[in-house]
Structure 1
Amino acid sequence: MARRGAASSQPAYLPHQPHDPRGLVDPNESAFSRFLRTEVFAPEKLPGNVSIASAVGVFAAGIFVFRTWGDLLVPA
């Protein structure tokens, strides 16, 4: 199949450099720290992340309570 595009166009497999409007892109930043910065601590995603963290906390506390004092719920 023939390639459709100008002869001077670059191949599509070149890595795309991320564009940060604040200009805070560090080329030596690891993928994990970039994930934390853009998905976990990003101000626009923080309310949803706090909601998820509180739900996980309530779930874990419920498991702890029922495993610790669950025998009090069963009639003897």
Structure 2
Amino acid sequence: MSSRRAAPGPSPFGAPQRRAIHDPNESAFSRFVREQIFAPENLPGNISILTAVTVFFGGIAAIRTWGDLMIPA
């Protein structure tokens, strides 16, 4: 039996390499939004967090709106 080496390319366990864009006129907030919120490697996790927060506050709004219908009369 012979062992095979993995094909050259990006590792599935490492972070993808991307080039940083440095704009001297960019504020710290806009740099944070670009690098942490809208970065392609962070987007799936951020969408999961946004979905969870939306469901949580949607549940609160639903109970406040229709909560009296859950109490037996």
TM-score between the two structures when normalised by the length of structure 1 = 0.69
- What 5-or-longer segments of structure 1 have no aligned partner? 1-20
Moved over 6 A (4+): none
Is 1:28 aligned with 2:25?
Answer: yes
Pairing 1:75–2:62 present: no
Which runs of no fewer than 5 residues in structure 2 stay unpaired?
1-17
Provide the secondary structure at the position in 2 that maps to 1:26.
coil
What's the counterpart of residue 47 of structure 2? 50
Deviation at 1:60, TM superposition (A): 1.0
CA drift of 1:24 comes to: 1.8
C-alpha separation between the residues in 2 aligned to 1:67 and 1:47? 30
In structure 2, distance between residues paired with 1:67 and 1:38: 37
CA RMSD of aligned residues (A): 1.1
Q: TM-score, normalised by structure 2?
A: 0.72
Separation (CA, whole Å) in 2 of partners of 1:52 and 1:38 = 17
Q: How many residues align?
A: 56
Report 1 or 2 for greater relative contact order, CA contacts < 8 Å, sequence distance ≥ 6: 2
| Larger-Rg structure | 1
Letter in 1 for 2:48: S
